[in-house]
Amino acid sequence: MDPLLFAFALAFCTATLALDNGLMRTPPMGWLAWERFRCDIDCKHDPSNCISERLFRDMADRLAEDGWRELGYIYINIDDCWSSMQRDKQGRLQADPDRFPSGIPELARYIHDRGLKLGIYGDLGTHTCGGYPGTTLDTVAVDAQTFADWGVDMLKLDGCYSNDTVQQKGYPLMSKALNATGRPIGYSCSWPAYQGGLPPNVNYTQLGEICNLWRNYDDIEDSWDSVLGIVDWFSTNQDLLQPAAGPGQWNDPDMLIIGNFGLSLEQSRSQMALWAIMAAPLFMSNDLRTLSNEARAILQNKVLIGINQDPLGIQGNRLLKEKSGVEVFWRPLSESASTLVFFSRRTDMPYHYKNTLWKLGYLPGNYKVYDVFTGRTMPELTHQTYFTASINPSGVVMWLLSPTVHRVQTQEGANPSLLHNHVEEIARPILL
C-alpha cells in the first residue's frame, strides 16, 4: 500500500477509538522525574536532587522561564517515592511531610501559576515499585478523588505488586473513577507493559477506550542499547501497535534521556527523531538546570516538535531495514506532508545512502524537502530523482516533505499544527 492510502486507512481505523475525556489530542509533552532522579530520597546529603517539592519547583521554573512551555512541554510529573509510608487517618494517600512540607495541593498551585500541569504517580497494587503504599481495588475511588482534590492533571498508574485479575478490574475502574471526579485528568496506564505488550494478552481497543497513553514495553535506561532495544521492539511489532495510536490515545516508548550521560549528540538526535516518528509522548527525564546547549537545541527543535504534534496523529513506521545498516522510517502528516528519517546503525563512519522517493512508496510528482536538523531547504526532488543522504554513525537525517501541487480538503476553522506555523514556506501545501 502506498503511503497516502495507508495514511487514510489508518486515520479511519483510529478515529473511533479515542478515550472520551477530550485530553491529549496530540502526544503529551513535559518533564518526568524517574529516569534521571529515580528514588533519591536522601535530602540531607543531596538536597538539590532528591524527590522533593524543591526539585519539582525547580523544574517548573525552568519549563516556564526557558522557553519549554511555549513549545508544548507543560507537564511536571512526579514519579514513585513521593508519598509517606502510611496513609492518613481517613485512608488517603499523603505526601512525605519532610520532603513535601507544603503538600501536593500547594505544589499544584505553584505549577499551575506558571501555566503548567501537574502529573503524579500511583500503582495498582499493594505497594508501588519503590515500596510505598499502592492503590488496591478498594481504594481506587478515594485515590482518584484525592488526586482531583489536590489539583492533579495527570496520573501514571503503574502495576507492581498486582496480578492479572487486579489489573483487568483496576485499570478500567480507575478510568471511571477519574472521570467521576469531574476534573480533567490525563490517564497513563502501565497495564500492557505487565502483559507483554502484545495481543492477545493486551486488548488495544479497550486501552483506547480507558487510557490516554500507555507503557507498552520495558523502562528506558540511560544507554544507547536501551534506546535501540525499544526502537527494535516497536518496529518489529509496528503492525500491531500502529492501529492503537491516535488523537487522545498513544503508545508510550518511555522517556527522552537527551541531556543525561548515556547518549552521544548523534544518538540524542536519533532518539528525538524516532520518538517523533512514533508519535510518542515527549517526556524529558533530565536535569533542566544544567542542560547543555546542544541538548536544548535538539529538545527545542520547533519543526521536529511540530512533526511529533501533528494533529492527524498517525504513528509512523519503519519502511526498510537495509543490509548496509541503514533503516528508513516514515510518518504521514496532515495536509499531505510527511517525514522521512534515515537512521544509521553503523559504528564506523558516515554512510552515503542512495534511493528515490518512488522506491519508498511516494506518488509521482515534485516534493519540497526541508532538513529538520540543519534547518535548510534542500533542492526539490521528483519521485524519480536519486538522492544521497549522508548519515553519521548512530545518527539520523530527518526530512520534512511536501508535494508542490496537490488537492486537499480542509475543515473550516481547523488550527494548523506547530509544524506549519514554523515552516510554512516549505511545508504548507498549495490548495486548489
- For residue range 196-226, list pLDDT tens digits in order: 999 999 999 999 999 999 999 999 999 999 9
Percent of the chain exceeding pLDDT 90 equals 89
6 located within any domain: no
What CATH number is given to the structural domain containing 367? 2.60.40.1180
Is 227 within 8 Å of 4 (Cβ atoms)? no
Position of cell 487510557? 211
Segment 361-379, tens digit of pLDDT: 999 999 999 999 999 999 9
Is pLDDT at 12 greater than 90 in this prediction? Answer: no
Instruction: Extract the C-alpha cell encoding 297.
Output: 537545541
Is 5 within the bounds of a domain?
A: no
- How is residue 91 written as a grid cell? 485512608
40-88 per-position pLDDT tens digit: 999 999 999 999 999 999 999 999 999 999 999 999 999 999 999 999 9
Are residues 171 and 46 part of one domain? yes
Indicate whether 226 and 161 sit together in one domain.
yes
Residue 4: pLDDT above 60?
no
3-class SS of residue 95: strand
Are 128 and 162 part of one and the same domain?
Answer: yes
Which CATH number fits the domain that encloses residue 163?
A: 3.20.20.70
SS3 30: strand
**Which three cell numbers, joined as nine digits, stand for 105?**
495541593
Residue in 153, 158, 252, 254 annotated catalytic: 158
Cβ 99 vs Cβ 56: under 8 Å: no
Catalytic residue selected from 218, 219, 222, 371: 219
Is 219 considered catalytic here? yes
Same structural domain, 214 and 362: no
How much is the pLDDT for 167? 98
Cell of 284: 524529558
Q: Is residue 2 part of a domain?
A: no
**What residue numbers bound the domain in which 379 lies?**
317-427
Q: Is it the case that residue 15 has pLDDT exceeding 50?
A: no
Same domain? 283 vs 349: no
Asked whether residue 147 falls in the same domain as residue 211, the answer is: yes
- Is there a single domain that holds both residue 271 and residue 396? no
